[in-house]
Amino acid sequence: MSTEYDITVIGAGPGGYVAALKAARMGARVAVVEKGHLGGACLNVGCIPSKALLASAELLHKIRAAGSMGVKVHGGIEFDWAKIQKRKDKVIRKLRGGIKGLLGAGDVHLMTGTATFKAAGTLTVTTSEGKEETIHTKNTIIATGSVPARVPGWPTDPQWVCTSDEALHWKALPKRLLIVGGGVIGCEFACMMHEYGVEVHVVEMLDGLLTGMESQLGDALEASFRQRGIRILTSAKVEGMTVGQTDVTVSVSGEAPLAVDKVLVAIGRRPNTEHLGLDAIGLAPDRGFLRVDDRMQTEVAGVYCIGDANGRCLLAHAASAQGEAAVQDALGRGEAFSLPIPSAVYTFPEVAAVGMTTREATEQGIPVKVGQFPIGYLGKAMAVGEEGGFARVVRHRDDNTLLGVHLIGHNATEIIEVATAMLTMKADTQALAKMVFAHPTLGEAVKEAAEDSFEAALHLPPREFAKVVAAVEEVSIQ
Partner 1 sequence: MYRLSLGESSSSPREAIVAKWLKAEGQVVTAGDSIVRLETGDANLELTSAVAGTVRQIAIREGLACRVGQVLCYVGDPAEPIPAVSPVNDAPTVSARASAQESKETVQTPTTIPEEALMSPDTPSSSSSPSSSPTTGPTGQVIPILMPQAGQSMEEGTVLEWKVAEGDSISEGQVILEIETDKANMDVEAVDSGRLAKIVAQAGAIVEVKVPIAYLADNDADVEAFIAGQGMAPEAPADPSPSVTRDETPVTGAKTASSVRSSGRVKASPAARKLAAQKNIDLNRVSQGSGPGGRVLTTDLASVEAAPGSSVGGQLSKMRRAIARNLLFSKQTIPHFYAKATIEAQRLYETYGRVKSGQFQCTINDFVVAACARSVREFEPFRGQFQADETIKVFPDCNIGLAVGTDEGLTVPVVLHADRLTLDALAAEIRNIVEGARRGKMANVGQGVFTITNLGMFGVESFQAIINPPESAILAVGALREDVKVENGAIKPTRLMALTLSVDHRVIDGVVAARFLARVRELLEAPEQLL
Ligand X SMILES: Cc1cc2nc3c(=O)[nH]c(=O)nc-3n(C[C@H](O)[C@H](O)[C@H](O)COP(=O)(O)OP(=O)(O)OC[C@H]3O[C@@H](n4cnc5c(N)ncnc54)[C@H](O)[C@@H]3O)c2cc1C
Q: Is 185 in the site for ligand X (CB under 6 A)?
A: yes
Residues 126-165 that bind ligand X (CB under 6 A): 143-146, 164
Q: Cα angle vertex 100, ends 94, 102, to 5°? A: 105
Say how many C-beta atoms besides its own lie within 10 A of residue 352's C-beta.
26
* Burial profile 6-27: b = 16 or more Cβ within 10 angstroms, e = fewer: bbbbbbbbbbbbbbbbbbbebe
Peptide bond into 49 cis (omega under 30): no
The Cα-based distances of 10 to 127, 406, 462 in angstroms read 14, 34, 56
Residue 365 interacts with which of ligand X, partner 1, none, CB < 5 to 8 Å by class:
partner 1
Q: Is 149 in the site for partner 1 (CB under 8 A)?
A: yes
**Extended strands (E) in 204-308:** 231-233, 238-243, 248-252, 258-260, 262-265, 269-271, 303-305
Q: Is 285 in the site for partner 1 (CB under 8 A)?
A: no
Distance CA 272, CA 275 (A): 8
Distance CA 132, CA 34 (A): 14
Instruction: Determine the interface stretch with ligand X among 28-36, 326-334, 384-392, 437-445 (rule: CB under 6 A).
Output: 28-36
Tell me whether residue 17 or residue 390 sits nearer to partner 1 (CB atom): 390
Tell me the number of residues near partner 1 by CB under 8 A.
77
Indicate which single residue of 78, 287, 332, 458 sits in contact with partner 1 (rule: CB under 8 A): 287
Residue 35 interacts with which of partner 1, ligand X, none, CB < 5 to 8 Å by class:
ligand X
Q: Is 316 in the site for ligand X (CB under 6 A)?
A: yes
Tell me whether residue 319 or residue 330 sits nearer to ligand X (CB atom): 319
Tell me the number of residues near ligand X by CB under 6 A.
37
Tell me whether residue 170 or residue 289 sits nearer to partner 1 (CB atom): 289
Q: Could you tell me the smallest distance in angstroms from the CB atom of residue 11 to partner 1?
A: 17
Indicate which single residue of 58, 204, 308, 324 sits in contact with ligand X (rule: CB under 6 A): 308
Active site residues: 439
Q: What does 156-195 look like in DSSP terms, one character per residue?
A: --TTTEE-HHHHTT-SS--SEEEEE--SHHHHHHHHHHHH
Residue 361 interacts with which of ligand X, partner 1, none, CB < 5 to 8 Å by class:
partner 1
- Lay out the site mask for partner 1 across 356-375 (x = CB under 8 A, - = otherwise): --xx-xxx-xxxxxxxx-x-
Residue 447 near residue 377 (C-beta atoms within 8 A): no
Distance CA 211, CA 217 (A): 9
Q: Is 35 in the site for ligand X (CB under 6 A)?
A: yes
Distance CA 403, CA 31 (A): 39
Residue 62 interacts with which of partner 1, ligand X, none, CB < 5 to 8 Å by class:
none
For binding to ligand X (CB under 6 A), which residues are involved?
10-16, 33-36, 40-42, 45-47, 50, 114-115, 143-146, 164, 185, 272, 276, 307-309, 314-317, 319, 346
